[in-house]
Amino acid sequence: MHEFPVRVYYEDTDLAGIVYYANYLKFIERARSEWVRGLGIDQGALKRDHGIVFAVRRVEADYLRPARFDDLLRVTTALVELGGARIVLDQAVWRGDEALFTARVVLVCLSDAGSAARMPADLRALLTAG
């Protein structure tokens, strides 16, 4: 399981002083990007060499508890399923041992034309090794 730290800044909060709901999606996006980078995958090279990119197809999210200004959070990312052109991840935002937000995220590999594209074998190997 990959972990990524996030500090809540003033700009992340709403008028009530809690993290605005859409910002949790930004937090998990950053964590996914770092998860991929940590596996040794260069997304720029993936696009250049194979003509494919990752795109979010679906997010199922549960907002459990609010995060507040200056909280130190951690985002976890775990691979659930790997298909030919699809990746399913479970992600969560934590404050200590308390889950604040959970999401099931479905990613697809897209070609330059915008259609689903099979992942190259070397990419699949990196994703399963991590």
- Strand, helix or coil for residue 42: coil
- Strand, helix or coil for residue 51: coil
- From 12, 14, 62, 70, the catalytic residue: 14
Cα 63 from Cα 86, distance rounded (Å): 25
Q: Are 89 and 113 in contact (CB under 8 A)?
A: no
Active site residue 42: no
Active site residues per annotation = 14
